Amino acid sequence: KQEVTQIPAALSVPEGENLVLNCSFTDSAIYNLQWFRQDPGKGLTSLLLIQSSQREQTSGRLNASLDKSSGRSTLYIAASQPGDSATYLCAVGRTGGGNKLTFGTGTQLKVEL
């Protein structure tokens, strides 16, 4: 059974800092890995999708890496801004059922002025 863990559970940083969010998973037979953003009381916004054959994806100030063999992914946020404050979720899709996602419990990020 796939288990996804995200560390830290909460993070508070001053504006402008570069930061790294961590995600680990127990079963390396994954199809893809996604990072989402969730604002309080809102839905999920997909940030980056990494296929199992890829090592990383970039979008603007965000960079996500994937190391299947060690069961880890990191989300790097450069030059953080107060608008980045949200909960960041990592989700893993398994081989043969790509969109049956297993989610981590998230990292709650607060970027302070």
Q: Does 27 bind another protein (CB under 8 A)?
A: no
State which amino acid sits at residue 68.
K
Binding range to another protein, per CB under 8 A, among 13-21, 29-37, 61-69, 77-85: 29-37
Q: Does 33 bind another protein (CB under 8 A)?
A: no
By C-beta, is 19 or 44 nearer to another protein? Answer: 44
Instruction: Kindly compute the dihedral angle of the four CA atoms of residues 29, 32, 33, 36, in this order, to the nearest 10 degrees.
Output: -150
What is the DSSP code string of 5-32?
EEE-SEEEEETT--EEEEEEES---EEE
Within positions 50 to 79, which residues make up the interface with another protein, using CB under 8 A? none
Binding positions for another protein, rule: CB under 8 A = 4, 31, 34, 36, 41-46, 49, 89, 91, 97-106
